Amino acid sequence: AQKITQTQPGMFVQEKEAVTLDCTYDTSDPSYGLFWYKQPSSGEMIFLIYQGSYDQQNATEGRYSLNFQKARKSANLVISASQLGDSAMYFCAMRLNRDDKIIFGKGTRLHILP
């Protein structure tokens, strides 16, 4: 069965430092997509970044990059130069292309300290 694991329930990081949020996934399907979302306290889920299983390059979107290690089945999110506004819950998700179902991890709560 497909599964997403985020092992860090909470993290505290000093402002301006880089932060890595861990995500491992489990699937035997060869074709899938990986996503990261940010959920501030307001509740809205904000899409951050996408990585396809066949993409050769790691995805980047501004200060966000996805460290995709296919053999290890990991898709860690890296936030460079963290800001106070990055404090939020972060979710890793996976979608299997054969049925379009999406599953989410339990999330990591990130606290940026001034």
Partner 1 sequence: KAGVTQTPRYLIKTRGQQVTLSCSPISGHRSVSWYQQTPGQGLQFLFEYFSETQRNKGNFPGRFSGRQFSNSRSEMNVSTLELGDSALYLCASSLAGDGKNIQYFGAGTRLSVL
Q: Which residues bind partner 1 (CB under 8 A)?
A: 33, 35, 37, 42-47, 50, 52, 91, 95, 97, 99-107
What is the closest distance, in whole angstroms, from the C-beta atom of residue 65 to partner 1 in the complex? Answer: 17
What is the closest distance, in whole angstroms, from the C-beta atom of residue 52 to partner 1 in the complex? Answer: 7
Structural tokens at position 86: 């990055």
Residue 99's H or E segment, with its range, is none
Q: Which is nearer to partner 1, 13 or 94 (CB)?
A: 94
Q: How far apart are CA 29 and CA 27, in angstroms?
A: 5
Q: Which is nearer to partner 1, 69 or 97 (CB)?
A: 97
Q: How far apart are CA 32 and CA 100, in angstroms?
A: 9
DSSP SS3 for 44: coil
What is the closest distance, in whole angstroms, from the C-beta atom of residue 11 to partner 1 in the complex? Answer: 18
Q: Which is nearer to partner 1, 7 or 14 (CB)?
A: 7
DSSP lists the bridge partners of residue 34 as 51, 94
